[in-house]
Amino acid sequence: MKRKNLSISIVSVMVGTFVLASLLFGYVREAEAKVKIGFILKTMQEERYQIDKATFTKKAESLGAKVYFDSANNDEQMQLAKFENMLAKGCKVIVMQPVNTGTAGNMVKMANEEGVKVVGYDSMLVNGPLDAMVMQDSWAVGKLQGEAMVNWFKDKKGKVEGKVALIMGQPGDSNAAAMSSGALEIIKNNAGLELVAKQAHEGWSSEKAMATAENVLTKHKNKVDAFICNNSGMARGVIAALDAQGMADTEKVFVAGSDADLVNIKYVAQGKQTVEIWKKIAPLAETAAEIAVKLAKGEDIKADKKINNGFADVPTVVTPVVPITKANLDSTIIAEGFYTKEQVHGK
């Protein structure tokens, strides 16, 4: 009787082991069948990039991809190492937001030599054989900031006349250059505006932007009317400098940012910041994920237009940007569920 029970036990163990092995084998086969997509951002220091990561990953996985994510802490050499690691992991497509838009083309060439496609994300890199690009219209971001500034001058001063500081992002970054170009066009078209500072900041640093704002305010005895900033973090640095002088008030000084970090949207609601450009993240990240998976599967992609990056005409999709002010934040960024009313207003 004991032998019979022992035999049954052995058979049961063997059957269980076979079933488990089959399940594991099936899981491995399924994982291998998924296309491998790399997604690498230049940094995670801005709040918005948590949303980029989550949105892209969710969309790509829903389309049957396995996503390898990383970021580079605004370090060019670190990004190169992360990029090479994604190639080593067998990614078929890498979606990249470059730290240095001027030199990242070499990474694209490296990938293409290994048969790996590259999709540019958010910032157009130059001199590389990009397979596709997904971006917002950065020039339009700067133009919207500039137009909001002109309207502020008309409303608060009765005339478009005063001192303006342009707080720029990473030196040599194509995104920072495009945003600044849009703002500069508005400044140049209004003869009463005096550009008293035009400063780039390594790593898009909030602290360095604060130091620049402090120096500009000191030099001009606090008589600076407007600050246009390439992103949210640097706008926060400017507002910190203004706050120290009792000037963080939209009745006194115009401040524009871009990225729609929650702190900045709160500043808009509180009357510390005049405008924040909301570069809608979901359309950007989801579109990039869709294009990456299609390229990995050898499928055709659709683009809005082609933009020459100095190497090739790159199929490009451009997603929307929206200016957020105290007057419209409830009907835009809150109504569309990006933030809740409680998050913004604390109620």
- Supply the DSSP string of 209-238, one letter for each residue: HHHHHHHHHHHTTT---EEEESSHHHHHHH
Q: Are 287 and 317 in contact (CB under 8 A)?
A: yes
Q: What is the pLDDT of residue 31?
A: 43
pTM for the model: 0.81
| Pair of tokens at residue 24 | 């594991």
Q: What is the pLDDT of residue 17?
A: 53
Question: What pLDDT, in 10s, does the model give residues 85-105?
Answer: 999 999 999 999 999 998 999
Q: What is the pLDDT of residue 9?
A: 53
Picking from 339, 320, 318, the residue whose alpha carbon sits closest to that of residue 329 is 339
Gap between the Cα atoms of 182 and 76, Å rounded: 26
Domains of the chain plus CATH, in order, are 34-136+281-319 (3.40.50.2300), 138-259 (3.40.50.2300)
Cα dist. 243→199, 237, 266 in Å? Answer: 20, 10, 15
How many CB atoms are located within 10 Å of the residue 189 CB? 11
DSSP string, 329-343: TIIIIITTTSS-HHH
Q: Are 317 and 124 in contact (CB under 8 A)?
A: no
Low-confidence spans in the chain with pLDDT less than 70: 1-33, 347
Q: What is the pLDDT of residue 7?
A: 52
Q: What is the pLDDT of residue 47?
A: 86
Q: Are 120 and 314 in contact (CB under 8 A)?
A: yes
Question: What pLDDT, in 10s, does the model give residues 25-46?
Answer: 444 444 445 899 999 999 998 8
HSE, side-chain direction, 13 A CA sphere, residue 158: 0
Beta-strand (E) ranges in 99-210?
117-121, 132-136, 162-167, 193-199
Q: What is the pLDDT of residue 46?
A: 87
